[in-house]
Amino acid sequence: MLKDLSIIFCERGVIRGQALDRRVLGKPLSHPFLVMKDGEDVVSELHGTWSARCCVNDNQPKLSKKLELSLAVASITGQAPRLSSVFEATFPKSFPVNRMVELQGNRQYKLAARESELVSGEETQEVWQHLTSSARVYDAIRFPYVRYAFGAQDVNCQKTMRALLENAEIDTSVLSLELGEAGWDRAPLFYSAACEV
């Protein structure tokens, strides 16, 4: 029986592609995610991430990983929209798309560089259910994923997480990222308009 529930906002550095992130952002790219805890135990985690359009697990094609990093480099020069269209048409199954996943137990929480409590008490389970329902809607959209989401229409885990929190009416103005920001501070209007849950 769940008794002492809370929702925690966490942040960790993205491991893959750190050399590029340090060149572009001066530090590791931030991966914000949510954790529901019962006391000190992690019940569940909610992450924005990416995968090849064809895959839903960790068995990603090597081509998809190369496409994701190529799009990251292209986003620095403003070429991501054009290159994204070419990649999506040429490699439709391997093309990287934005995903939302819920993981049971302590999967990445142990890697968190920092955490902040967002919600606790009686409303926690209801808020978590709203967040996971919204996450399923966002996941179904499968927007093209862009590592450095500097453009208005670019999507990455930072913009997705912020949109998810705002959709649940959680104040994101009090949250900032300590690691590399590449989309968090840009309004995630694409989800707000597309997915009122």
In a domain, 89, yes or no: no
Q: Domain limits at 166?
A: 5-53+98-194
In a domain, 69, yes or no: no
Q: Which of 92-106, 120-134, 179-193 has the lowest mean pLDDT?
A: 179-193
**Over the stretch 173-192, which tens digit does the pLDDT of each residue have?**
889 999 999 999 876 655 55
In a domain, 93, yes or no: no
Predicted confidence at residue 10, as pLDDT, reads: 96
In a domain, 73, yes or no: no
**Over the stretch 39-88, which tens digit does the pLDDT of each residue have?**
999 999 999 988 877 765 556 667 777 778 888 877 777 777 777 778 77
Predicted confidence at residue 195, as pLDDT, reads: 53
In a domain, 79, yes or no: no
The yes-or-no verdict on residue 138 having pLDDT over 50 is yes
The yes-or-no verdict on residue 5 having pLDDT over 70 is yes
The yes-or-no verdict on residue 155 having pLDDT over 90 is no
Q: The CATH number of the domain where 20 resides is what?
A: 3.90.1720
- Of residues 85 and 26, more confidence is placed in 26
- Of residues 163 and 154, more confidence is placed in 163
Structural domains in the chain (count): 1
In a domain, 68, yes or no: no
In a domain, 59, yes or no: no
Position 107 confidence tier, pLDDT thresholds 50, 70, 90: confident
Q: Which of 38-52, 89-103, 113-127, 172-186 has the lowest mean pLDDT?
A: 89-103
Per-residue DSSP letters for the chain?
Answer: ---SEEEEEEEEE--TTHHHHHHHHSSPBEEEEEEEEETTEEEEEEEEEEEETT-SSS---HHHHHHHHHHHHHHHTT-HHHHHHHHHHH-TTT-EEEEEEEEESSSSGGG-SEEEEEEESTTHHHHHHHHHHHHHHHHHH-PBB-SS--STT-B-HHHHHHHHHHHTT---TT---SSB-SSTTS--HHHHHH---
